[in-house]
A and B are shown apart, each in its own frame.
Chain A
Amino acid sequence: MTTLLETDGEKLLVALRTVLEAKGIATAQEIAERIAVTDAGSPAQGARMVARAWVDPAYRAQMLQDGAAAAEALGITMRGAPPLGVLENTPTLHNVVVCTLCSCYPRAVLGYPPFWFKSAAYRARAVRDPRGLLSEWGTVLAETVRVQVVDSTADYRWMVLPMRPAGTDGWSEEKLAGIVREGDMIGVTVPAAA
């Protein structure tokens, strides 16, 4: 007897799609739409939200109140995605997000998580020694800054709204979005005007 793990992946996928359609669970079109939505998720989407929040106080307020609504406002599809919460970095508070239990990640706005986000080392050290971990990313925070580790354990997904770096006065929204990296929205790094 062939076990599931030994089965040819393509054949298994075709079989699964056929059964899903036959049972009325998901049509081929629905699956194609979902794949397109998943593929559209990338750090560039989150960066657009951050840049808008930096130039538009009303948008920033909306983003902190309801991240999913703020994402939808920029045309990012959130249908079927978990609720999105956004946590703001300030001169006295730095957020860093981890999922110690698995790999919860705001995929709709940041895409697939980077490989290290799912590693046992990151998951363990982020909660246990966040300042040591951040320093290895080159992120050294002042003693007066409180580090808040956000363990994403349940039904929300969390992203960080970093602080707008100095030296970016007068920059366009597009140029601002260009300096926001995925690590800045997880909280392991902070954006710079370079």
Chain B
Amino acid sequence: MSGIFAPGTPVRVRDDWPETRGPVHIRTPHYLRGKPGTVVRRLGTFPNPEDLAFARPAAERPLYHVAFAQDAVWPDGRSGDTLLVELYDHWLELDEHRQEPGP
């Protein structure tokens, strides 16, 4: 969990698999779980779709555009190419140990 991530912040997507624990609706693609990325911009706040999908009260959560290096996501990803993905703050962890600049 997090505070507010500024653009340029190195983050890591939580390596969590709630679909193994019961019915869920998740907007975080499985191929990004546990992967390192870099916050590009904050997109605003939206009611958490994971609750909306089950008609539960949905708190507003910050949504970020996060960039990933293709070669950090796929074994044969092309160096220099990137992915840009919308992710909610509760799926992001500060990646304090990463020194290298992100994409």
Contact = CB atoms under 8 A, between A and B. Distances in A.
B85 A146 contact: no
Q: Is the interface of A mostly helix, strand, loop or mixed?
A: mixed
Contacts of A146: 80-82
Contacts, number: 66
Interface string A125-155: 0011011000000000000001111111111
A101 interface: yes
Interface of B: 27-29, 31, 43-44, 46, 49, 63, 67, 70, 73-74, 78, 80-88
Interface of A: 83, 85, 87, 95, 100-101, 127-128, 130-131, 146-156
22 contacts: A85-B43, A101-B27, A127-B31, A131-B78, A131-B81, A147-B78, A148-B81, A150-B83, A150-B84, A150-B85, A151-B84, A153-B28, A153-B29, A153-B85, A153-B87, A154-B63, A154-B86, A154-B87, A154-B88, A155-B43, A155-B44, A155-B46
